[in-house]
């Protein structure tokens, strides 16, 4: 584990486990690199170098007022890759992290990228508009902002239920998972918690997806209540050339935790192919 300093002086914390071909993980809002520990431990134990950073404003990284946008997130990722001199990396992004991976490829190309994986990811764009009629209305995201401002500790507790589909009839709820979600979320600073909502909802990543020229896995659950799959994975997989689309029936947004064994096997199968 260590830190890097970006060009604007932001300190980015990262974990670096194992050795071998690098796999770089980009987490979702409002979590941290801890959200990928199940995948990191599994893959590091099988001969891969697993690197995951806390996005600026999240986790153990600095909490600057500025830079809570996908361009800066992507540039921070590029700086991490450059400073660690990672080559032929496999980039895995969940939710907002999937948008970060897309914008990273869009802005920095694939000279250091071998493959990409988008899990429950936000691309191409979440916000509803005339050009994107299947998106979510702005009122949804205004509601998120209002909840963050009103009582974000309580909001994180409530958000953990749909995040893991624990609000479904008959769901087996893990209070430990919910507490971990709350803890990671509370480590995110107020600016990132608030400003990242605009970043993940309004950023159009269509042109970034068109720049993908590496094997790509698009993985999503059809019970994703945070990023509905019909307007994300189904569209992204058509824009990315030769993408492999896998939809898990009844799987939630937080499938990397609730279905970690299945996701781990999906990842290593794709990586080895």
CA distance 235 to 123: 8
Which one of the listed residues 95, 160, 232, 236 is annotated catalytic? 95
Dihedral sign, CA of 128, 235, 250, 177? negative
C-alpha closest to that of 163 among 152, 178, 143: 178
Which one of the listed residues 26, 75, 224, 237 is annotated catalytic? 224
Residue 23 · residue 43 · CB < 8 Å: yes
CA distance 67 to 70: 8
Clarify whether 253 is annotated catalytic.
Answer: yes
Structure tokens at 26: 């980009």
Beginning with the edge strand found earlier in the chain, give each strand of the sheet holding 244-248 in spatial order: 2-5, 11-17, 48-53, 21-26, 89-94, 113-119, 216-221, 244-248
Clarify whether 95 is annotated catalytic.
Answer: yes
CA distance 148 to 96: 17
Helix (H/G/I), strand (E/B), else coil: 59: coil
C-alpha closest to that of 206 among 106, 120, 130, 94: 106
**How long, in residues, is the chain?**
273
- State residue 147 phi and psi, 5-degree precision: -70, -40
Active site residues: 95, 224, 253
């Amino acid at each position: 584990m260590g830190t890097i300093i970006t060009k604007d002086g932001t300190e980015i914390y990262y974990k670096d486990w194992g050795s071998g071909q690098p796999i770089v993980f980009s987490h979702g809002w409002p979590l941290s690199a801890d959200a990928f520990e199940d995948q990191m431990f599994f893959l590091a134990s099988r001969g891969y170098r697993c690197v995951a950073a806390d996005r600026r404003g999240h986790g153990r990284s600095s909490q600057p007022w500025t830079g809570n946008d996908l361009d800066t997130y992507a540039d921070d990722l590029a700086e991490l890759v450059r400073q660690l001199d990672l080559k032929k990396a496999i980039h895995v992004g969940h939710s907002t992290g999937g948008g970060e991976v897309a914008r990273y490829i869009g802005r920095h190309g694939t000279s250091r990228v071998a493959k990409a994986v988008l899990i429950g990811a936000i691309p191409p764009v979440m916000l509803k508009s005339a050009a994107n009629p299947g998106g979510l209305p702005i009122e949804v995201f205004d509601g998120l902002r209002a909840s963050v401002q009103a009582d974000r500790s309580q909001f994180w507790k409530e958000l953990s239920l749909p995040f893991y589909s624990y609000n479904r009839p008959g769901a087996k709820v893990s209070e430990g998972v919910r507490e971990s979600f709350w803890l990671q979320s509370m480590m995110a600073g107020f600016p990132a918690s608030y400003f990242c909502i605009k970043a993940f909802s309004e950023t159009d990543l269509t042109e970034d997806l068109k720049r993908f020229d590496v094997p790509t896995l698009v993985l999503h659950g059809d019970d994703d209540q945070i990023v509905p799959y019909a307007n994300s994975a189904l569209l992204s997989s058509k824009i990315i050339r030769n993408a492999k689309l896998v939809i898990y029936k009844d799987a939630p947004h937080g499938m990397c935790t609730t279905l970690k064994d299945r996701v781990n096997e999906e990842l290593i199968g794709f990586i080895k192919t």
